[in-house]
Copies of this chain bind each other. A is one copy, B any other.
Amino acid sequence: MTFTTPIRDMRFILDHAAGFGALEQSGAYPELSEDLTAAILEEMGKFCDGVVAPLNETSDHNGAALENGVVRTSPGFKEAYKQYVEAGWSSLAFPEEAGGQGLPSTLAVALVDALNGACMSFAIGTTLTTGAVKAILPAATDEQKALYLEKMVSGEWTGTMNLTEPQAGSDLSAIRTKAEPVGDGRYKISGQKIFITYGDHDMTDNIVHLVLARLPDAPAGTAGISMFIVPKIHVKEDGALGERNDVQCIKLEEKMGLHGSPTCVMSYGDKGECYGTLLGEENKGLKNMFVMMNAARLDVGMQGVGVAERAYQRALAYAQDRKQGRGAGVKSGEMVAIYEHPDVRRMLYSMKALVEASRAVCYANAVAYDLARHAPDEKTRAEAKAMEELLTPISKAWSTDRANDVTSLGVQVHGGMGYVEETGAAQHMRDARIAAIYEGTNGIQAMDLVGRKLQGDGGAAAKKFIAEIKNEAKVLKAAKREELHHVGERLLAAADALHASTDWLLEKAQENPEHALAGATPYLKQFGNVAGGYYLSKAAIAAALEIHENRDPAYHETKIAMARFFADNYLTEAIGLTDAIMAGAGGVARLDPDLLSA
Protein backbone atom coordinates (compact mmCIF):
# COMPACT_ATOMS: atom_id res chain seq x y z
CA MET A 1 0.00 0.00 0.00
CA THR A 2 1.56 3.30 -1.05
CA PHE A 3 -0.86 5.44 0.92
CA THR A 4 -3.45 4.87 3.59
CA THR A 5 -6.08 7.51 4.24
CA PRO A 6 -5.49 8.37 7.92
CA ILE A 7 -9.15 7.97 8.81
CA ARG A 8 -8.60 7.71 12.52
CA ASP A 9 -6.41 10.82 12.70
CA MET A 10 -8.79 12.72 10.45
CA ARG A 11 -11.73 11.82 12.65
CA PHE A 12 -9.83 12.65 15.82
CA ILE A 13 -8.98 16.10 14.52
CA LEU A 14 -12.48 16.68 13.19
CA ASP A 15 -14.02 15.84 16.53
CA HIS A 16 -11.47 17.09 19.04
CA ALA A 17 -9.71 20.00 17.40
CA ALA A 18 -11.82 21.39 14.57
CA GLY A 19 -15.21 21.48 16.27
CA PHE A 20 -16.98 19.14 13.86
CA GLY A 21 -19.12 17.95 16.77
CA ALA A 22 -20.54 21.45 17.07
CA LEU A 23 -21.50 21.27 13.42
CA GLU A 24 -23.14 17.87 13.87
CA GLN A 25 -25.10 19.21 16.81
CA SER A 26 -25.93 22.62 15.33
CA GLY A 27 -28.91 21.35 13.42
CA ALA A 28 -27.46 22.76 10.25
CA TYR A 29 -27.37 19.29 8.72
CA PRO A 30 -30.31 17.33 10.15
CA GLU A 31 -29.32 14.08 8.48
CA LEU A 32 -25.73 14.22 9.69
CA SER A 33 -24.75 11.75 12.38
CA GLU A 34 -21.59 10.26 13.79
CA ASP A 35 -22.32 7.01 12.03
CA LEU A 36 -22.87 8.68 8.68
CA THR A 37 -19.59 10.58 9.03
CA ALA A 38 -17.84 7.33 9.88
CA ALA A 39 -19.33 5.56 6.89
CA ILE A 40 -18.36 8.36 4.52
CA LEU A 41 -14.79 8.49 5.81
CA GLU A 42 -14.49 4.75 5.44
CA GLU A 43 -15.72 4.71 1.85
CA MET A 44 -13.49 7.68 1.10
CA GLY A 45 -10.52 5.76 2.41
CA LYS A 46 -11.33 2.70 0.28
CA PHE A 47 -11.64 4.78 -2.86
CA CYS A 48 -8.54 6.90 -2.26
CA ASP A 49 -6.30 4.05 -1.13
CA GLY A 50 -7.49 1.47 -3.58
CA VAL A 51 -8.27 3.41 -6.74
CA VAL A 52 -6.41 6.73 -6.66
CA ALA A 53 -3.21 6.11 -4.70
CA PRO A 54 -1.81 3.56 -7.16
CA LEU A 55 -1.84 6.24 -9.89
CA ASN A 56 0.56 8.57 -8.16
CA GLU A 57 3.93 7.24 -9.17
CA THR A 58 2.97 6.54 -12.77
CA SER A 59 1.58 10.03 -13.12
CA ASP A 60 5.03 11.41 -12.34
CA HIS A 61 6.88 9.36 -14.97
CA ASN A 62 4.11 9.20 -17.50
CA GLY A 63 2.35 12.49 -17.04
CA ALA A 64 -0.21 14.31 -19.10
CA ALA A 65 0.84 14.80 -22.72
CA LEU A 66 -0.37 16.92 -25.60
CA GLU A 67 -0.86 14.65 -28.60
CA ASN A 68 -2.30 15.97 -31.86
CA GLY A 69 -3.95 18.89 -30.12
CA VAL A 70 -5.57 16.74 -27.43
CA VAL A 71 -4.38 16.21 -23.88
CA ARG A 72 -4.01 12.58 -22.92
CA THR A 73 -4.03 12.07 -19.16
CA SER A 74 -1.76 9.73 -17.29
CA PRO A 75 -2.58 5.99 -17.42
CA GLY A 76 -5.49 5.08 -15.16
CA PHE A 77 -6.73 8.62 -14.58
CA LYS A 78 -9.71 8.28 -16.88
CA GLU A 79 -10.90 5.08 -15.26
CA ALA A 80 -10.37 6.39 -11.72
CA TYR A 81 -12.20 9.58 -12.56
CA LYS A 82 -15.15 7.57 -13.86
CA GLN A 83 -15.33 5.76 -10.53
CA TYR A 84 -15.06 9.06 -8.68
CA VAL A 85 -18.10 10.37 -10.53
CA GLU A 86 -20.08 7.16 -10.23
CA ALA A 87 -19.53 6.96 -6.49
CA GLY A 88 -20.93 10.48 -6.15
CA TRP A 89 -17.84 12.01 -4.56
CA SER A 90 -18.10 15.17 -6.65
CA SER A 91 -21.56 16.11 -5.43
CA LEU A 92 -21.00 15.42 -1.73
CA ALA A 93 -21.42 18.93 -0.39
CA PHE A 94 -23.51 20.61 -3.06
CA PRO A 95 -27.10 21.57 -2.30
CA GLU A 96 -29.72 18.96 -3.03
CA GLU A 97 -31.57 21.36 -5.31
CA ALA A 98 -28.47 21.50 -7.50
CA GLY A 99 -28.20 17.73 -7.61
CA GLY A 100 -25.86 17.46 -4.66
CA GLN A 101 -26.05 15.46 -1.47
CA GLY A 102 -26.34 18.41 0.90
CA LEU A 103 -23.60 17.24 3.25
CA PRO A 104 -21.16 19.57 5.03
CA SER A 105 -18.34 21.06 3.01
CA THR A 106 -16.13 19.92 5.84
CA LEU A 107 -16.54 16.36 4.63
CA ALA A 108 -15.74 17.45 1.09
CA VAL A 109 -12.63 19.12 2.48
CA ALA A 110 -11.69 15.87 4.23
CA LEU A 111 -12.11 14.21 0.83
CA VAL A 112 -9.73 16.77 -0.69
CA ASP A 113 -7.25 15.87 2.06
CA ALA A 114 -7.49 12.14 1.29
CA LEU A 115 -7.49 12.56 -2.50
CA ASN A 116 -4.35 14.70 -2.36
CA GLY A 117 -2.65 12.18 -0.14
CA ALA A 118 -3.53 9.54 -2.69
CA CYS A 119 -2.49 11.49 -5.79
CA MET A 120 -2.19 15.25 -5.85
CA SER A 121 -2.17 15.57 -9.63
CA PHE A 122 -5.39 13.56 -9.90
CA ALA A 123 -7.06 15.39 -7.02
CA ILE A 124 -6.58 18.88 -8.37
CA GLY A 125 -8.82 18.19 -11.36
CA THR A 126 -11.68 17.39 -9.02
CA THR A 127 -11.30 20.52 -6.89
CA LEU A 128 -11.12 22.76 -9.95
CA THR A 129 -14.52 21.43 -10.92
CA THR A 130 -16.12 21.90 -7.53
CA GLY A 131 -14.63 25.39 -7.45
CA ALA A 132 -16.18 26.22 -10.80
CA VAL A 133 -19.55 24.98 -9.57
CA LYS A 134 -19.26 27.33 -6.60
CA ALA A 135 -18.70 30.26 -8.95
CA ILE A 136 -21.60 29.27 -11.20
CA LEU A 137 -24.19 28.47 -8.51
CA PRO A 138 -25.00 31.98 -7.25
CA ALA A 139 -24.48 33.80 -10.55
CA ALA A 140 -25.83 31.67 -13.37
CA THR A 141 -29.10 32.20 -15.22
CA ASP A 142 -31.65 29.40 -15.18
CA GLU A 143 -30.66 28.58 -18.74
CA GLN A 144 -26.99 28.35 -17.82
CA LYS A 145 -27.84 26.19 -14.86
CA ALA A 146 -29.94 23.92 -17.02
CA LEU A 147 -27.16 23.51 -19.54
CA TYR A 148 -24.17 23.01 -17.25
CA LEU A 149 -24.84 22.69 -13.58
CA GLU A 150 -26.08 19.18 -13.09
CA LYS A 151 -23.27 17.61 -15.09
CA MET A 152 -20.67 19.68 -13.27
CA VAL A 153 -22.08 18.91 -9.85
CA SER A 154 -21.96 15.22 -10.65
CA GLY A 155 -18.50 15.63 -12.13
CA GLU A 156 -19.64 14.23 -15.48
CA TRP A 157 -18.11 17.37 -16.96
CA THR A 158 -15.18 19.14 -15.37
CA GLY A 159 -14.66 22.87 -14.91
CA THR A 160 -11.65 25.16 -15.16
CA MET A 161 -10.71 28.65 -14.02
CA ASN A 162 -9.07 30.82 -16.70
CA LEU A 163 -7.54 33.81 -14.97
CA THR A 164 -3.86 34.14 -15.73
CA GLU A 165 -2.31 35.67 -18.82
CA PRO A 166 1.41 36.19 -19.36
CA GLN A 167 1.25 39.82 -18.21
CA ALA A 168 -1.50 39.22 -15.64
CA GLY A 169 -0.56 36.85 -12.85
CA SER A 170 -0.98 38.07 -9.29
CA ASP A 171 -2.34 41.31 -10.78
CA LEU A 172 -5.48 40.52 -12.76
CA SER A 173 -6.04 44.16 -13.65
CA ALA A 174 -3.83 43.58 -16.69
CA ILE A 175 -6.11 40.96 -18.28
CA ARG A 176 -6.45 41.49 -22.05
CA THR A 177 -8.64 38.60 -23.26
CA LYS A 178 -11.58 40.07 -25.14
CA ALA A 179 -15.29 39.30 -25.20
CA GLU A 180 -17.49 40.92 -27.84
CA PRO A 181 -21.26 40.60 -27.75
CA VAL A 182 -22.61 39.14 -30.98
CA GLY A 183 -26.20 40.27 -30.32
CA ASP A 184 -27.91 36.96 -29.53
CA GLY A 185 -26.78 36.81 -25.93
CA ARG A 186 -23.52 35.16 -26.89
CA TYR A 187 -20.03 36.64 -26.78
CA LYS A 188 -17.08 36.06 -29.03
CA ILE A 189 -14.04 35.30 -26.89
CA SER A 190 -10.47 35.84 -28.04
CA GLY A 191 -7.19 35.67 -26.21
CA GLN A 192 -4.67 33.41 -24.57
CA LYS A 193 -4.63 32.10 -21.02
CA ILE A 194 -1.73 30.38 -19.29
CA PHE A 195 -1.36 28.03 -16.32
CA ILE A 196 -4.82 26.54 -16.89
CA THR A 197 -5.01 23.41 -14.80
CA TYR A 198 -6.85 20.59 -16.58
CA GLY A 199 -7.55 23.05 -19.41
CA ASP A 200 -7.85 19.99 -21.59
CA HIS A 201 -7.94 16.26 -20.86
CA ASP A 202 -9.58 13.04 -21.98
CA MET A 203 -11.47 12.08 -18.83
CA THR A 204 -14.87 13.58 -19.69
CA ASP A 205 -16.98 14.39 -22.74
CA ASN A 206 -16.96 18.09 -22.08
CA ILE A 207 -15.09 20.78 -20.17
CA VAL A 208 -16.66 24.00 -18.96
CA HIS A 209 -14.24 26.90 -18.88
CA LEU A 210 -14.83 29.96 -16.74
CA VAL A 211 -12.93 32.73 -18.48
CA LEU A 212 -12.09 36.24 -17.28
CA ALA A 213 -12.19 38.70 -20.18
CA ARG A 214 -12.95 42.32 -21.04
CA LEU A 215 -15.98 43.64 -22.85
CA PRO A 216 -15.43 46.38 -25.44
CA ASP A 217 -15.10 49.74 -23.71
CA ALA A 218 -14.88 48.08 -20.29
CA PRO A 219 -13.24 50.26 -17.64
CA ALA A 220 -9.52 49.72 -17.16
CA GLY A 221 -8.24 47.57 -14.34
CA THR A 222 -10.16 45.05 -12.29
CA ALA A 223 -13.41 47.02 -12.57
CA GLY A 224 -13.62 46.03 -16.22
CA ILE A 225 -13.32 42.28 -16.00
CA SER A 226 -16.23 39.98 -16.72
CA MET A 227 -16.61 36.22 -16.40
CA PHE A 228 -17.78 33.96 -19.20
CA ILE A 229 -18.87 30.37 -19.46
CA VAL A 230 -17.06 28.88 -22.43
CA PRO A 231 -17.71 25.19 -23.06
CA LYS A 232 -15.21 23.04 -24.89
CA ILE A 233 -18.14 21.48 -26.79
CA HIS A 234 -21.28 23.52 -27.30
CA VAL A 235 -24.33 22.18 -25.51
CA LYS A 236 -27.68 22.13 -27.26
CA GLU A 237 -30.90 23.14 -25.57
CA ASP A 238 -31.84 19.53 -25.00
CA GLY A 239 -28.53 18.94 -23.28
CA ALA A 240 -26.97 17.02 -26.15
CA LEU A 241 -23.43 17.86 -27.17
CA GLY A 242 -23.12 19.94 -30.32
CA GLU A 243 -20.15 21.35 -32.17
CA ARG A 244 -16.63 21.86 -30.94
CA ASN A 245 -16.02 25.39 -29.71
CA ASP A 246 -12.98 27.31 -30.99
CA VAL A 247 -10.85 26.76 -27.90
CA GLN A 248 -7.85 24.54 -27.52
CA CYS A 249 -4.80 23.68 -25.50
CA ILE A 250 -1.79 24.74 -27.53
CA LYS A 251 0.96 23.85 -25.06
CA LEU A 252 1.57 21.99 -21.83
CA GLU A 253 4.03 23.50 -19.37
CA GLU A 254 7.03 21.43 -18.31
CA LYS A 255 6.86 21.66 -14.54
CA MET A 256 9.00 20.74 -11.58
CA GLY A 257 6.33 18.31 -10.43
CA LEU A 258 2.63 17.53 -10.59
CA HIS A 259 3.25 15.97 -13.98
CA GLY A 260 -0.08 14.19 -13.95
CA SER A 261 -1.93 17.50 -13.90
CA PRO A 262 -2.02 19.12 -17.35
CA THR A 263 -1.05 22.80 -17.07
CA CYS A 264 -2.30 24.26 -20.30
CA VAL A 265 -1.77 27.30 -22.44
CA MET A 266 -5.31 27.82 -23.74
CA SER A 267 -6.07 29.65 -26.90
CA TYR A 268 -9.53 31.13 -27.38
CA GLY A 269 -10.87 32.16 -30.78
CA ASP A 270 -7.94 31.34 -33.04
CA LYS A 271 -10.45 31.06 -35.87
CA GLY A 272 -12.63 33.85 -34.54
CA GLU A 273 -15.29 31.31 -33.66
CA CYS A 274 -15.11 30.93 -29.90
CA TYR A 275 -18.45 31.61 -28.21
CA GLY A 276 -19.44 31.88 -24.58
CA THR A 277 -22.09 33.42 -22.36
CA LEU A 278 -21.75 36.00 -19.63
CA LEU A 279 -21.79 34.64 -16.09
CA GLY A 280 -23.33 37.14 -13.68
CA GLU A 281 -23.06 40.84 -14.33
CA GLU A 282 -20.90 42.72 -16.79
CA ASN A 283 -17.61 43.91 -15.29
CA LYS A 284 -18.25 41.99 -12.08
CA GLY A 285 -16.19 38.96 -12.98
CA LEU A 286 -13.93 39.24 -9.97
CA LYS A 287 -16.96 39.14 -7.70
CA ASN A 288 -17.84 35.69 -9.09
CA MET A 289 -14.26 34.68 -8.61
CA PHE A 290 -14.21 35.76 -4.99
CA VAL A 291 -17.31 33.67 -4.30
CA MET A 292 -15.28 30.55 -4.92
CA MET A 293 -11.97 31.94 -3.71
CA ASN A 294 -12.25 31.08 -0.03
CA ALA A 295 -13.19 27.50 -0.82
CA ALA A 296 -10.51 27.22 -3.48
CA ARG A 297 -7.82 28.53 -1.15
CA LEU A 298 -8.85 26.12 1.56
CA ASP A 299 -8.67 23.32 -1.00
CA VAL A 300 -5.11 24.32 -1.83
CA GLY A 301 -4.21 24.36 1.86
CA MET A 302 -5.65 20.86 2.00
CA GLN A 303 -3.48 19.82 -0.95
CA GLY A 304 -0.52 20.76 1.19
CA VAL A 305 -1.80 18.65 4.06
CA GLY A 306 -2.54 15.69 1.80
CA VAL A 307 0.80 15.52 0.04
CA ALA A 308 2.58 16.12 3.35
CA GLU A 309 0.68 13.20 4.88
CA ARG A 310 1.78 10.97 2.04
CA ALA A 311 5.41 12.11 2.39
CA TYR A 312 5.18 11.43 6.13
CA GLN A 313 3.78 7.94 5.69
CA ARG A 314 6.53 7.06 3.25
CA ALA A 315 9.28 8.45 5.48
CA LEU A 316 7.92 6.66 8.53
CA ALA A 317 7.83 3.37 6.65
CA TYR A 318 11.37 3.88 5.36
CA ALA A 319 12.65 4.75 8.84
CA GLN A 320 11.22 1.53 10.22
CA ASP A 321 12.69 -0.50 7.39
CA ARG A 322 16.13 1.01 6.84
CA LYS A 323 18.82 -0.17 9.19
CA GLN A 324 21.93 1.91 9.88
CA GLY A 325 23.97 2.45 13.01
CA ARG A 326 23.37 1.57 16.60
CA GLY A 327 22.15 3.25 19.76
CA ALA A 328 24.16 5.90 21.57
CA GLY A 329 27.29 4.31 22.97
CA VAL A 330 26.62 0.89 21.44
CA LYS A 331 29.68 -0.22 19.48
CA SER A 332 28.72 -3.59 18.06
CA GLY A 333 25.83 -5.89 17.30
CA GLU A 334 23.04 -5.64 14.78
CA MET A 335 22.26 -2.32 13.15
CA VAL A 336 18.96 -0.80 14.22
CA ALA A 337 16.16 0.77 12.22
CA ILE A 338 16.93 4.46 11.78
CA TYR A 339 13.64 5.21 13.55
CA GLU A 340 15.57 4.36 16.73
CA HIS A 341 17.87 7.39 16.29
CA PRO A 342 16.62 10.50 18.13
CA ASP A 343 17.55 12.81 15.25
CA VAL A 344 15.54 10.74 12.78
CA ARG A 345 12.58 10.71 15.15
CA ARG A 346 12.92 14.50 15.38
CA MET A 347 12.39 14.69 11.62
CA LEU A 348 9.44 12.31 11.69
CA TYR A 349 7.79 14.00 14.66
CA SER A 350 8.25 17.36 12.95
CA MET A 351 6.50 15.95 9.90
CA LYS A 352 3.71 14.40 11.93
CA ALA A 353 3.16 17.44 14.17
CA LEU A 354 3.08 19.79 11.18
CA VAL A 355 0.70 17.54 9.24
CA GLU A 356 -1.69 17.30 12.19
CA ALA A 357 -1.53 21.00 12.99
CA SER A 358 -2.11 22.08 9.40
CA ARG A 359 -4.90 19.54 9.01
CA ALA A 360 -6.53 20.92 12.16
CA VAL A 361 -6.28 24.53 10.94
CA CYS A 362 -7.85 23.59 7.60
CA TYR A 363 -10.60 21.47 9.14
CA ALA A 364 -11.45 24.24 11.63
CA ASN A 365 -11.61 26.58 8.64
CA ALA A 366 -13.98 24.16 6.90
CA VAL A 367 -16.25 23.93 9.93
CA ALA A 368 -16.37 27.74 10.05
CA TYR A 369 -17.20 27.74 6.31
CA ASP A 370 -20.15 25.43 6.91
CA LEU A 371 -21.42 27.22 10.01
CA ALA A 372 -21.16 30.56 8.21
CA ARG A 373 -23.62 29.27 5.62
CA HIS A 374 -25.78 26.77 7.47
CA ALA A 375 -25.88 27.52 11.18
CA PRO A 376 -29.50 28.08 12.23
CA ASP A 377 -28.89 31.40 14.00
CA GLU A 378 -27.53 34.56 12.49
CA LYS A 379 -25.06 35.30 15.26
CA THR A 380 -23.34 31.95 14.83
CA ARG A 381 -23.27 32.46 11.08
CA ALA A 382 -21.71 35.91 11.41
CA GLU A 383 -19.09 34.76 13.90
CA ALA A 384 -18.27 31.75 11.78
CA LYS A 385 -18.00 33.91 8.67
CA ALA A 386 -15.44 36.15 10.41
CA MET A 387 -13.50 33.07 11.48
CA GLU A 388 -13.64 31.58 7.98
CA GLU A 389 -12.31 34.82 6.49
CA LEU A 390 -9.52 35.01 9.04
CA LEU A 391 -8.44 31.39 8.73
CA THR A 392 -8.54 31.12 4.94
CA PRO A 393 -5.22 32.81 4.14
CA ILE A 394 -3.62 30.90 7.01
CA SER A 395 -4.99 27.57 5.82
CA LYS A 396 -3.74 28.26 2.33
CA ALA A 397 -0.32 29.72 3.06
CA TRP A 398 0.72 28.17 6.34
CA SER A 399 -0.32 24.65 5.33
CA THR A 400 1.45 24.83 1.99
CA ASP A 401 4.61 26.34 3.47
CA ARG A 402 4.61 23.56 6.01
CA ALA A 403 4.02 21.05 3.20
CA ASN A 404 7.26 22.29 1.66
CA ASP A 405 8.98 21.74 5.00
CA VAL A 406 7.44 18.30 5.52
CA THR A 407 8.12 16.96 2.03
CA SER A 408 11.71 18.21 2.20
CA LEU A 409 12.13 16.44 5.54
CA GLY A 410 10.71 13.36 3.85
CA VAL A 411 13.57 13.46 1.37
CA GLN A 412 16.06 13.97 4.21
CA VAL A 413 14.81 10.95 6.18
CA HIS A 414 15.60 8.83 3.11
CA GLY A 415 19.18 10.11 2.91
CA GLY A 416 20.75 9.54 -0.51
CA MET A 417 17.79 7.38 -1.52
CA GLY A 418 15.56 10.42 -1.11
CA TYR A 419 17.39 12.24 -3.87
CA VAL A 420 16.97 9.31 -6.23
CA GLU A 421 13.62 9.42 -7.95
CA GLU A 422 12.82 5.74 -7.54
CA THR A 423 11.84 6.04 -3.87
CA GLY A 424 9.17 8.66 -4.63
CA ALA A 425 10.18 10.95 -1.74
CA ALA A 426 11.48 13.50 -4.23
CA GLN A 427 8.20 13.46 -6.16
CA HIS A 428 6.30 14.56 -3.07
CA MET A 429 8.65 17.49 -2.62
CA ARG A 430 8.40 18.46 -6.29
CA ASP A 431 4.64 18.05 -6.35
CA ALA A 432 4.06 20.00 -3.14
CA ARG A 433 6.11 22.99 -4.27
CA ILE A 434 3.35 24.49 -6.44
CA ALA A 435 0.79 24.81 -3.65
CA ALA A 436 2.56 27.79 -2.05
CA ILE A 437 2.36 29.56 -5.41
CA TYR A 438 -0.98 29.11 -7.11
CA GLU A 439 -4.43 30.31 -6.06
CA GLY A 440 -2.72 33.49 -4.82
CA THR A 441 0.92 33.18 -3.79
CA ASN A 442 1.59 32.83 -0.10
CA GLY A 443 2.83 36.42 -0.09
CA ILE A 444 -0.57 37.49 -1.40
CA GLN A 445 -2.23 35.44 1.33
CA ALA A 446 -0.14 37.20 3.94
CA MET A 447 -1.13 40.58 2.55
CA ASP A 448 -4.76 39.45 2.53
CA LEU A 449 -4.38 38.51 6.21
CA VAL A 450 -2.88 41.80 7.37
CA GLY A 451 -5.00 43.85 4.99
CA ARG A 452 -8.52 42.74 4.19
CA LYS A 453 -8.81 40.37 7.12
CA LEU A 454 -7.02 42.10 9.99
CA GLN A 455 -7.52 45.75 9.18
CA GLY A 456 -10.89 45.01 7.59
CA ASP A 457 -12.59 44.59 10.95
CA GLY A 458 -10.10 46.49 13.06
CA GLY A 459 -8.68 43.23 14.35
CA ALA A 460 -11.96 42.11 15.94
CA ALA A 461 -11.97 38.53 14.66
CA ALA A 462 -8.26 38.05 15.28
CA LYS A 463 -8.49 39.31 18.83
CA LYS A 464 -11.51 37.20 19.58
CA PHE A 465 -9.60 34.15 18.34
CA ILE A 466 -6.50 35.08 20.31
CA ALA A 467 -8.60 35.46 23.46
CA GLU A 468 -10.06 31.99 22.84
CA ILE A 469 -6.52 30.63 22.48
CA LYS A 470 -5.40 32.27 25.70
CA ASN A 471 -8.35 30.78 27.55
CA GLU A 472 -7.43 27.35 26.26
CA ALA A 473 -3.83 27.95 27.31
CA LYS A 474 -4.99 28.70 30.82
CA VAL A 475 -7.02 25.50 30.91
CA LEU A 476 -3.89 23.59 29.90
CA LYS A 477 -1.73 25.37 32.43
CA ALA A 478 -4.15 24.33 35.15
CA ALA A 479 -3.91 20.67 34.17
CA LYS A 480 -2.23 18.27 36.54
CA ARG A 481 -0.31 16.48 33.83
CA GLU A 482 3.07 18.08 33.49
CA GLU A 483 3.10 17.92 29.65
CA LEU A 484 -0.24 19.69 29.39
CA HIS A 485 0.87 22.38 31.79
CA HIS A 486 4.07 22.78 29.78
CA VAL A 487 2.16 23.08 26.50
CA GLY A 488 -0.18 25.59 28.12
CA GLU A 489 2.71 27.78 29.18
CA ARG A 490 4.16 27.82 25.70
CA LEU A 491 0.79 28.39 24.09
CA LEU A 492 0.13 31.35 26.35
CA ALA A 493 3.51 32.90 25.64
CA ALA A 494 3.04 32.46 21.90
CA ALA A 495 -0.49 33.86 22.02
CA ASP A 496 0.80 36.86 23.94
CA ALA A 497 3.38 37.43 21.21
CA LEU A 498 0.71 37.15 18.53
CA HIS A 499 -1.47 39.57 20.46
CA ALA A 500 1.36 42.10 20.64
CA SER A 501 2.15 41.73 16.91
CA THR A 502 -1.50 42.14 16.07
CA ASP A 503 -1.77 45.35 18.05
CA TRP A 504 1.45 46.63 16.54
CA LEU A 505 0.33 45.93 12.98
CA LEU A 506 -3.08 47.52 13.51
CA GLU A 507 -1.52 50.63 14.95
CA LYS A 508 1.42 51.00 12.57
CA ALA A 509 -0.54 50.26 9.40
CA GLN A 510 -2.44 53.47 10.12
CA GLU A 511 0.80 55.42 9.91
CA ASN A 512 2.11 53.67 6.83
CA PRO A 513 0.58 50.68 5.01
CA GLU A 514 4.08 49.44 4.18
CA HIS A 515 4.57 48.48 7.83
CA ALA A 516 1.87 45.87 7.47
CA LEU A 517 3.00 44.71 4.05
CA ALA A 518 6.59 44.35 5.22
CA GLY A 519 5.68 42.17 8.18
CA ALA A 520 2.88 40.23 6.54
CA THR A 521 4.76 36.99 5.86
CA PRO A 522 6.29 36.51 9.32
CA TYR A 523 2.94 37.56 10.84
CA LEU A 524 1.10 34.88 8.91
CA LYS A 525 3.68 32.32 10.01
CA GLN A 526 3.34 33.44 13.62
CA PHE A 527 -0.43 33.21 13.38
CA GLY A 528 -0.28 29.78 11.78
CA ASN A 529 2.11 28.44 14.39
CA VAL A 530 -0.08 29.72 17.21
CA ALA A 531 -3.29 28.45 15.61
CA GLY A 532 -1.70 25.07 14.90
CA GLY A 533 -0.47 24.86 18.48
CA TYR A 534 -3.91 25.80 19.75
CA TYR A 535 -5.70 23.06 17.83
CA LEU A 536 -3.13 20.46 18.85
CA SER A 537 -3.56 21.62 22.44
CA LYS A 538 -7.29 21.04 22.21
CA ALA A 539 -6.57 17.63 20.78
CA ALA A 540 -4.17 16.93 23.65
CA ILE A 541 -6.79 17.79 26.26
CA ALA A 542 -9.28 15.53 24.55
CA ALA A 543 -6.64 12.81 24.42
CA ALA A 544 -5.98 13.19 28.13
CA LEU A 545 -9.68 12.64 28.80
CA GLU A 546 -9.66 9.53 26.63
CA ILE A 547 -6.64 8.26 28.54
CA HIS A 548 -8.41 9.01 31.81
CA GLU A 549 -11.31 6.88 30.57
CA ASN A 550 -8.79 4.23 29.54
CA ARG A 551 -9.85 4.34 25.91
CA ASP A 552 -6.82 3.30 23.84
CA PRO A 553 -4.34 5.21 25.99
CA ALA A 554 -1.32 4.36 23.83
CA TYR A 555 -2.84 6.03 20.75
CA HIS A 556 -3.96 9.06 22.72
CA GLU A 557 -0.56 9.46 24.33
CA THR A 558 0.83 10.13 20.87
CA LYS A 559 -1.53 13.10 20.58
CA ILE A 560 -0.18 14.58 23.78
CA ALA A 561 3.37 13.92 22.61
CA MET A 562 2.71 15.71 19.32
CA ALA A 563 1.22 18.73 21.10
CA ARG A 564 4.29 18.86 23.27
CA PHE A 565 6.65 18.49 20.34
CA PHE A 566 4.83 21.21 18.48
CA ALA A 567 4.98 23.49 21.51
CA ASP A 568 8.71 23.05 22.04
CA ASN A 569 9.56 23.50 18.39
CA TYR A 570 6.95 25.70 16.74
CA LEU A 571 5.22 27.71 19.45
CA THR A 572 8.61 28.92 20.57
CA GLU A 573 9.50 29.70 16.95
CA ALA A 574 6.40 31.89 16.81
CA ILE A 575 7.73 34.15 19.53
CA GLY A 576 10.97 34.73 17.63
CA LEU A 577 9.01 36.09 14.67
CA THR A 578 7.93 39.18 16.57
CA ASP A 579 11.12 41.11 15.79
CA ALA A 580 10.82 40.32 12.10
CA ILE A 581 7.25 41.65 12.11
CA MET A 582 7.99 44.73 14.16
CA ALA A 583 11.01 45.66 12.08
CA GLY A 584 8.30 47.07 9.84
CA ALA A 585 8.87 48.94 6.62
CA GLY A 586 12.38 49.91 7.73
CA GLY A 587 13.34 46.25 7.92
CA VAL A 588 12.88 45.84 4.18
CA ALA A 589 13.56 49.44 3.17
CA ARG A 590 14.30 49.74 -0.51
CA LEU A 591 17.97 49.34 -1.44
CA ASP A 592 19.30 49.95 -4.91
CA PRO A 593 19.09 46.49 -6.49
CA ASP A 594 22.18 47.15 -8.58
CA LEU A 595 24.18 47.32 -5.35
CA LEU A 596 22.77 43.99 -4.22
CA SER A 597 24.22 42.17 -7.19
CA ALA A 598 27.94 41.88 -7.57
How many residues in A have their beta carbons less than 8 Å from beta carbons of B?
A: 112
B-facing mask of A502-517, CB < 8 A → 1, else 0? Answer: 0000000000011001
Whether B430 lies near A416 (C-beta < 8 A) is no
Whether B591 lies near A561 (C-beta < 8 A) is yes
Residues of B within 8 A of A164 (CB): 416
A181 within 8 A of B: no
Contact of A352 among B257, B436, B437, B596 (CB under 8 A): B596
With A253-B420, A568-B579 given, is the CB distance from A415 to B593 under 8 Å? no
- In the complex, how many angstroms separate the beta carbon of A39 from the nearest chain B beta carbon? 17
With A171-B324, A520-B343, A557-B591 given, is the CB distance from A597 to B437 under 8 Å? no
A408 within 8 A of B: yes
Contact of A343 among B10, B335, B341, B521 (CB under 8 A): B521
Most chain B beta-carbon neighbours within 10 Å: one of A254, A319, A341, A576: A576
- In the complex, how many angstroms separate the beta carbon of A428 from the nearest chain B beta carbon? 11
With A346-B588, A420-B253, A517-B343 given, is the CB distance from A332 to B443 under 8 Å? no
Whether A6 lies near B598 (C-beta < 8 A) is yes
A447 within 8 A of B: yes
- In the complex, how many angstroms separate the beta carbon of A214 from the nearest chain B beta carbon? 16
- List which A540-561 residues lie within 8 A (CB) of chain B: 554-555, 557-558, 561
Most chain B beta-carbon neighbours within 10 Å: one of A194, A343, A577: A343
A280 within 8 A of B: no
A145 within 8 A of B: no
- In the complex, how many angstroms separate the beta carbon of A341 from the nearest chain B beta carbon? 7
- In the complex, how many angstroms separate the beta carbon of A393 from the nearest chain B beta carbon? 13
- List which A250-293 residues lie within 8 A (CB) of chain B: 253-257, 263
Whether B335 lies near A415 (C-beta < 8 A) is no
Contact of A255 among B316, B320, B408, B421 (CB under 8 A): B421
A564 within 8 A of B: yes
Measured CB to CB, the nearest residue on chain B to A346 is B588
Whether B345 lies near A598 (C-beta < 8 A) is no
Tell me the complex Cα distance, A170–B195, Å.
42
14 contacts between A and B (CB under 8 A): A6-B597, A170-B324, A173-B335, A343-B443, A343-B518, A412-B437, A415-B437, A419-B437, A426-B433, A490-B579, A522-B569, A554-B595, A564-B587, A572-B577
Given contacts A320-B593, A415-B437, A419-B437, 5 further A-B contacts (CB under 8 A): A316-B597, A345-B590, A352-B596, A408-B433, A558-B592
